[in-house]
Chains A and B, each alone.
Chain A
């Protein structure tokens, strides 16, 4: 029952196709190892005043990785990742402050809780076929509802929020170090690496492959016997867990959590921006995007702290740095249709193909 290969009146026919090399696991993992080692030296390399920026990069990378899994690979465009981020952050502080639980355990609890939230809301949304832009806005509404709920609930301190209590000395168990200690960076880095690996192996697993297939065509996947709902929810749960870990790390580093900060729409947006800048639906995109977006606002602010001569009439009027930041974001979006990593990869593929 084998086809004779048809179509081909002459050779060279396959010139007209895009090929895809099976991705090599070793290569990616090797690059990851090298990047990790190089990144781990950052606390020694970066000027101290930039350490906070480096931490922000890590948090962005975690959040964007979570968002990218759900929206980029899973095709479920989320505009409400603040919900998972906030659940992670709140689980951390509530358990730590209220019950003296180690932040590490709280982190796991937060991840589990966020995953449960994702599964619950996702189930309802998919059950009722809420899709596309409607789904995006529904996730947003859920995040906003959580924010408002936290705001009005005295049990989680309402708008006052939580402080992580200061300790007299450093403690791994309590996840607290001296201000600006390199441990924060290393732990953040480790979390990013773990999240990266989680996504990497998930995508290579059966579930991950189904998730991508479902993104490409849900009905076709169902027709082949894939239980669409189950794998959409699995993907959402993992993405939510990663985002929650980002939230817990955030809480431990910034030591302050309130509803607007961790559940506000700014977090939902912050999860998206690095992924888009780096390249949606690529493994490295969110990480690269975070490295660009994280320092961007600081760079523009530094650049314009003392406005140049020509603009000195604007001195004392804030906003110029944000204007520059906005212009840069616009330029990046216009110039890099597939994000930085996506665009570069495309160029490489094109070059390789045209040879």
Chain B
């Protein structure tokens, strides 16, 4: 069961001689929605970048479906079904919505049109703007496009880095709803969110990251009740 999913063991990593993550371990099983919460600068994005191959671990192992993926380059990891929506979104700015989405299906050779229809069904706002260049869209639409693009590769594990930042309350809802429905289709999700309360509310399990170390983990609802978490991250 667990060797179907993602498993990080004792991983350390950082930037040019500066260690950020200190031997963290976590796992995401197939079909699970798992969140990572933590203060700004705790290393949440660093963890995701590490999994998606944008950053190399200095120690420890990352395995997916029983296979080592640390040290692999991003496109190889995407081919295994592990796809990240990054904090900066990394859209293809001058290209149209349609082209962005089709590029999302780079590793998928058949059934692209059906996938496209699915994504447009999920985000009708995108369907209205098929021809619009990504860079001329507003923040929220760009966020939807980034998620849609990731879905185009039929991910088995989707990683989202702060998908709701900068979105209007209405869109925040829509995005988190979408995340939940993605999980409901059997895609595992690893979610990083500032809105810890909301994130924990929809998560199966969650980890708390502090200064590059995992200090707590458990079911989302249980953590949401945890006094320390409530004080430190929910502002309660």
Contacts and interface: CB of A to CB of B under 8 A. Distances in A.
Interface string A334-355: 0000000000001001110110
Contact of B18 (A9, A12, A351, A353): A353
Contact of A12 (B20, B43, B211): B211
A15 interface: yes
B18 A7 contact: no
Most buried by B among A9, A12, A349: A9
Q: How large is the interface on A (under 10, 10 to 19, 20 to 34, 35 or more residues)?
A: 10 to 19
A18 B40 contact: no
B222 interface: no
A6 to B, nearest CB: 8
Nearest to A352: B17
A88 B19 CA distance: 50
Contacts of B1: none
Interface string B4-19: 0000000000101111
A13 B215 CA distance: 14
B194 to A, nearest CB: 13
Contact of A13 (B14, B17, B18, B211): B211
Interface in B11-36: 14, 16-20
Given A9-B211, A12-B211, A16-B212, A354 B41 contact: no
Nearest to A11: B211
Interface residues of B, number: 15
Contacts of A309: none
Contacts of B232: 9
B18 A16 contact: yes
A110 B232 CA distance: 64
B174 interface: no
A17 B40 CA distance: 13
Contact of B16 (A8, A10, A15, A346): A346
A350 B20 contact: no
Contacts of A353: 17-18
Contacts of B43: 16
A18 B41 contact: no
Given A7-B40, A9-B39, A9-B232, A18 B210 contact: no
Contacts of B18: 16-18, 353
A7 B41 contact: yes
A20 to B, nearest CB: 13
Contacts of A10: 210-211
A346 B210 CA distance: 28
Nearest to B21: A16
A350 B19 contact: no
Nearest to B208: A9
A297 to B, nearest CB: 33
A169 B227 CA distance: 90
A16 B17 contact: no
Given A9-B215, A16-B18, 10 more contacts: A7-B40, A9-B39, A9-B210, A10-B211, A15-B19, A16-B20, A16-B212, A18-B18, A346-B16, A350-B17
25 contacts: A7-B39, A7-B40, A7-B41, A8-B39, A9-B39, A9-B215, A9-B232, A10-B210, A12-B211, A13-B41, A15-B211, A16-B18, A16-B19, A16-B20, A16-B41, A16-B43, A16-B211, A16-B212, A17-B18, A18-B18, A346-B16, A349-B17, A350-B17, A353-B17, A354-B17
Interface of B: 14, 16-20, 39-41, 43, 210-212, 215, 232
When A and B form their complex, which 5 residue pairs have the shortest distance between CB atoms, in order from nearest?
A: A350-B17, A9-B210, A7-B39, A13-B211, A16-B20
